[in-house]
Amino acid sequence: QVAEWLAHPFDDALGSARPPRRGSGRRRGPKQRAPSPVAERSRGTAPGRKRAKPGTADLPCATPGRSQAQQELPWVQRYQPESQNDLAVQKKKIEEVETWLKTHIFQRQPKQGGSVLLLTGPPGCGKTATLQILARDLGLQVQEWTNPLSLDFTKEDLRNMFGHDSNFHTFPSQAQAALFQDFLLRANKYNKLQMLGESSENDKKLILVEDIPNQFYREPGSLHEILRSFVRRSRCPLVFIISDNFSGDSNQRSLFPTEIVEELCICNISFKPVAPTNMMKVLNRIAAAEASMNRENYTLDRTSLELLCRGCSGDIRSAINSLQFSSTKGCSLEKEFWSKKKKSSTIKCEEAGVSKVRKKSKCDTSEDQEIQAIGGKDASIFLFHALGKIIYCKREAVSGAECPQLPAHLCGHRRDTLLIQPEDIVEKSHMSGSMFNLYLHQNYVDFFSDIDDVVRASEYLSTADVLCSNWSARLVMESYSASVATRGVIHSNTSRAFAHQQGGMGFRPLHKPQWFLINKKYQENCVAAKSLFSSFCLPPECLQTELLPYLAMLANPMRNQAQIAFIQDVGRLPLKRHFGR
């Protein structure tokens, strides 16, 4: 059966490209080959030879202005943006991409090499849609790379792979890196084929790579060599699209390190998550179109739509899919999203009252969680955004009757209710507790105005550091350590103890911890000490803390110049040189 299926690989492909007729088989000519059992099972919905009576499934859709094919399309494809006004992307980002394309395509010098553009950002923020719309507006041909599948198997290959004596070790395939390099060569050398009805006036084009070969993640150096050759010889620009993730390992840093970006002059344009206001506009436009087609007497609930947007974390694609799923017939949340229209005389007053009641009553209900869970993503917060939530620690005003009264000796610890949960903020930052404490320790001092508050905050940070000092219990204690550090820093800042107080030092830029640079220097010193003073047979820590300070006080002419320089750098403690702050 496998051999028969592979012997005629193009018959089914060409047949599936034609629109099937309802109630009749596909006619290929005077002689029709009987389909193989494998192909027959693969087409579970293929119509039979006899024409059945027209039922409800065979009748055309009653919806005006929309075909059956459009009805079956996902909403992401059905309502894809057609112009720049339909994009839910910041106008500044659209202008940056458009300016880059015009500069490197229409204003390119004759002997100028190829140029590379890198579009980054979280999934569903409009990177691909922005590029496609701009390319269409500028009249550019887009040639996109897609990772190929190794389907060039023969009968002998299949027998060898799936035989009784096979160990599945030999698969006939070609390296993706070689295929990718050949694709860049062909796309740069030859123009796109002109299909029927297409104009051949403009041959400007760009190469789009969104599906990066897996080999480059293991061997980034091979990608760098291909890019160097492309920049020297290419005549058209190359655009990479990479989606960020919150797991800590960034594909952008591994594939495009700083050295390569500077060497090849790669331009990086970073997209941000879709703003809730832009997302609401898009969803309202889709809902209005659906209501005019299928739900003429229904209206969409705005509160439920806001909850859905909140659960999608700025991913417009996920939000549209969630809206489509929630609007399907028979879904448990269909009534939550779609309600019947009321009379125009009372609609404004009643909807205003209902929305207010819903906002108060829907705070912590299971319905809210169910709406946010449909297609919702794990909520993620960028690192410096999460750090700002902890340092600025916004609060909600609480009346004296609602707030529990503290004893007289504890009145100084009275605080308004926090609008955030520090533990949730650390969890959504997708960082370990100890790493988050490093960023907090680096930046908290600039936001304090009282030295006594700094003393209390430093004590909490020290306590949090002690909790993670034991390596055997570090994984268990990290969450407790982060809780102590974040809540301690928040509680210690008395200038932000109440909602009406906006004290502190105002806006301050956030910085990367100096610990990274110090730790890198320490690792380099360990390697240098072990190589320069290998005759002492001591571990690197003992060499730097015990031996080298002692050797720095002795004048031994037998040392070489490298040892003397290292002793002067590590063995002495300079009193006039301060590192950083």
Q: Name the domain count of the chain.
A: 4
- Judged by average pLDDT, the poorest of 124-138, 161-175, 223-237 is 161-175
Statement to judge: residues 546 and 443 lie in one domain: no
Domain identity same for 239 and 110: yes
* pLDDT greater than 60 at residue 12: no
Kindly report, residue by residue over 409-449, the tens digit of the pLDDT.
Answer: 888 888 888 988 999 999 888 888 999 999 999 999 988 98
Contact indicator for 439, 513 with CB cutoff of 8 Å:
yes
User: And the tokens for 220?
Assistant: 């980034």
Under the banding of pLDDT at 50, 70 and 90, the label for residue 197 is: low
Tell which of 328, 356, 372 closes a domain. Answer: 328
Structural domain contains residue 579 = no
Q: What pLDDT is stored for residue 343 in this prediction?
A: 46
Task: Write the burial class of residue 181 (CB in 10 Å: 0-12 exposed, 13-18 middle, 19+ buried).
Answer: middle
Grade residue 213 by pLDDT with cuts at 50, 70 and 90.
confident
Structural domain contains residue 530? yes
* Average pLDDT score over residue span 258-276: 89
Q: Which tokens in the block code for residue 283? A: 């969803």
State which H helix or E strand residue 461 sits in: helix 451-467
- How many whole angstroms separate alpha carbon 72 and alpha carbon 454? 61
| pLDDT of 518 strictly over 60 | yes
Residues 417 and 292 in one domain: no
First-to-last CA distance in the chain?
Answer: 74
Grouping H, G, I as helix, E, B as strand and the rest as coil, residue 121 is: strand
For residue 336, the model assigns a pLDDT of 58
- Predicted pLDDT at 241: 93
Helix (H, G, I), strand (E, B) or coil at 455: helix
Quick one: 124 and 141 in the same domain?
Answer: yes
Paired residues of 117 in beta bridges: 239, 267
Which structural domain range is residue 556 located in? 521-571
Instruction: Establish if 312 belongs to a structural domain.
Output: yes
Q: Say yes or no: 104 and 253 in one domain.
A: yes
Residue 59, CB-side half-sphere exposure with 13 Å CA sphere: 5
Q: What is the DSSP string of 208-275?
A: EE-S--THHHH-HHHHHHHHHHHHHH-SS-EEEEEE--SSS--HHHHHS-HHHHHHHT-EEEE--PPP
Contacts (Cβ under 8 Å, ≥6 apart) of 552: 567, 568, 571, 572
Question: What band does 68 get if pLDDT is binned at 50, 70 and 90?
Answer: low
Of 239, 272, 62, 14, nearest to 141 by C-alpha is: 239
Phi then psi dihedrals of residue 268, to 5 deg: -115, 120
Please give the pLDDT value at position 238.
92
pLDDT tens, residue by residue, 340-395? 555 443 334 444 444 443 444 444 445 555 555 555 666 677 788 889 899 988 88
∠ CA 17-22-26, rounded to 5° = 50
Q: Is residue 314 part of a domain?
A: yes
User: Does residue 261 carry a pLDDT above 70?
Assistant: yes
262 and 288 fall within a common domain: no
pLDDT tier at 483, thresholds 50, 70, 90: very high
The helix or strand, by DSSP H or E, that contains position 529, with its residue range, turns out to be: helix 515-532
Q: Are residues 240 and 292 in the same domain?
A: no
In a domain, 211, yes or no: yes
Q: Percent of the chain beyond pLDDT 70?
A: 66
**How high is the pLDDT of residue 467?**
93
Asked if residue 453 and residue 475 are part of one domain, the reply reads: yes
Task: Report yes or no on 479 lying in a domain.
Answer: yes
Does the pTM surpass 0.85? The reply is: no
462, 389: one domain: yes
Residue 24 CA neighbour count, 13 Å, CB half: 5
Mean pLDDT computed over 43-60: 40
**What is the pLDDT averaged over residues 70-95?**
87
Q: Where are the alpha helices (DSSP H) in 468-513?
A: 474-492
Return d(Cα 255, Cα 399) in angstroms, integer. 54
Concatenated DSSP letters for 22-60? TTSPPP-SSS-PPPPHHHHHH-TT---SSPPPP-TTTSP
Buried b (16+ CB within 10 A) or exposed e, 523-543: eebeebbeebbeeeeeebeeb
Q: How confident is the model at residue 161 (pLDDT cuts 50, 70, 90)?
A: low
**How large is the average pLDDT for residues 508-535?**
89
Res 226 pLDDT > 60: yes
pLDDT confidence tier of residue 201, bands split at 50, 70 and 90: low
Residue 325 to residue 375: CA distance in whole angstroms: 8
Indicate the pLDDT class of residue 321, thresholds 50, 70 and 90. confident
Average pLDDT of every residue of the chain: 75
Assess whether pLDDT exceeds 80 at residue 502: no
Average pLDDT of the residues in 483-487: 96
pLDDT at 231 > cutoff 70? yes
Which pLDDT belongs to residue 273?
87
Residues 315 and 232 in one domain: no
Is residue 311 packed enough to be buried (19+ CB in 10 Å), middle (13-18) or exposed (0-12)?
buried
Tokens 């009749």: give the residue: 24
Instruction: Give the mean model confidence (pLDDT) for residues 554-564.
Output: 77
In this structure, the strands spanning 238-243 and 205-209 are parallel
343 located within any domain: no
Q: Is residue 326 over pLDDT 90? A: no
391-409 mean pLDDT:
82
Task: Mark residue 580 as left, alpha or beta (left: phi above 0; alpha: psi -120 to 50; beta: remaining).
Answer: left
The answer as to whether 427 is a domain residue is yes
How far apart (Å, rounded) are the C-alpha atoms in residues 340 and 131? 39
- If we measure between CA atoms, which residue out of 272, 341, 234 comes closest to residue 125? 272
Average pLDDT over residues 44-61: 40
> What pLDDT does 30 receive?
42
- Cα separation, 223 vs 217, in Å, equals 9
Same domain, 184 and 134: yes
Last residue of a domain, which of 245, 270, 295? 270
**How far is residue 460 from each of residues 427, 454, 464, 515, measured CA to CA in Å?**
20, 10, 6, 19
pLDDT > 90? residue 451: yes
Domain final residue, candidates 270, 290, 305: 270
Residue 144 burial class via C-beta count within 10 angstroms: exposed 0-12, middle 13-18, buried 19 and up = middle
Nearest of 177, 173, 188, 292 to residue 232 by alpha carbon: 188
Q: Are residues 501 and 456 in the same domain?
A: yes
Query: How does residue 290 score in pLDDT terms, banded at 50, 70 and 90?
Result: confident
